Amino acid sequence: MSDILTHTDAGVMTMTLSRVDKKNSITAAMYTAMAEAIQEAARNDAVKVLVIQGHETIFSAGNDIADFLNHPPKGNDAPVFQFLRGLSTLAKPVVAAVAGPAVGVGTTLLFHCDLVYAGDNAAFAMPFVNLGLCPEAASSLLVPNLVGYQRAAELLLLGEPFTAETALEMGLVNRIVPPTEVNALAHKQATKLAAKPLSSLLETKRFLKQGHAAAVQTRMTDEAVVFGRMLGEAPAREAFTAFMEKRKPDFTKV
């Protein structure tokens, strides 16, 4: 079975992260599959809305660390950046259903979705600093735009998890429901969108994004350059080694 499943019905393409045994951690191959699915959603006239969902117990633990170290993102055409660029520029509406943990890119990808529904078991985190890295997916721009500088600094500098209730209060999430209902709610809302005129959806989303669309792409590229450099530096090596060895990193030695 593929780790990324896609299905299109009644104008809605559903992209499901289906690697539950590995906490939906994302490999380079999965990023490629997701990027290709987004490209298909963009060019297929039968698709009016994209839904991104995981399992009721886990949305995504973020990057698969072993795969990430074996296939580090090199350059702006790395699979992860192709996926993020495709998602951030998709003209059609994107609806996300999040239950369980959403770590790293599992959280930052949501800032590029138009509607986000969460299970009450959802837990979000952007722990890039704790891994010796910097933000990605233009989160260093989008998070302060959403919640203000001080709250963004707390989220990105400390990198600590936050709850579905906090995500709702800060405006990242539209609604919280039981985990077993979140995928169904996302599809219900996507079906409502798919019944509307596509031209109206496209133009409305374009105007909503117009004020910062160019800045998002510039920031995403800038972050990717620094992220790639930091990935090869001592703090990140210590963080990932500690993760693989199941211990706390010791940054006093780097």
Residue 59's pLDDT is 98
For range 169-192, the mean pLDDT: 98
Token pair of 238 as six digits: 């210590």
Listed in sequence order, the DSSP H helices in 44-75 are 65-70
Q: Which of 4-8, 12-16, 164-168, 228-232 has the lowest mean pLDDT?
A: 228-232
Given a cut of 80, whether residue 75 has pLDDT beyond it is no
Residue 71's pLDDT is 85
Q: Is residue 193 part of a domain?
A: no
Q: Is residue 33 part of a domain?
A: yes
Q: Is residue 186 part of a domain?
A: no
Predicted confidence (pLDDT) per residue in 103-142, tens digit: 999 999 999 999 999 999 999 999 999 999 999 999 999 9
Residue 29's pLDDT is 95
Residue-number span of the structural domain to which 99 is assigned: 1-178+198-254
Beta strands in 24-121, from DSSP E residues, in sequence order:
49-53, 94-98, 101-103, 115-119
Residue 74's pLDDT is 81
- pLDDT classification of 69: cutoffs 50, 70, 90: confident
- CATH number of the domain encompassing residue 54: 3.90.226.10
CA distance 81 to 91: 17
**Which residue bears the tokens 């409502």?**
192
Q: What is the mean pLDDT of the chain?
A: 96
* Listed residue (29, 178, 172, 5) closest to 96, CA to CA: 172
How many domains does the chain divide into? 1
For range 2-23, the mean pLDDT: 97
Given a cut of 90, whether residue 173 has pLDDT beyond it is yes
Beta strands in 66-181, from DSSP E residues, in sequence order:
94-98, 101-103, 115-119, 123-125, 162-163, 175-177
Q: Is residue 163 part of a domain?
A: yes
Q: Is residue 95 part of a domain?
A: yes
Q: Is residue 192 part of a domain?
A: no
- pLDDT classification of 1: cutoffs 50, 70, 90: low
Predicted confidence (pLDDT) per residue in 233-244, tens digit: 999 999 999 988
Q: Is residue 185 part of a domain?
A: no
Residue 176's pLDDT is 98
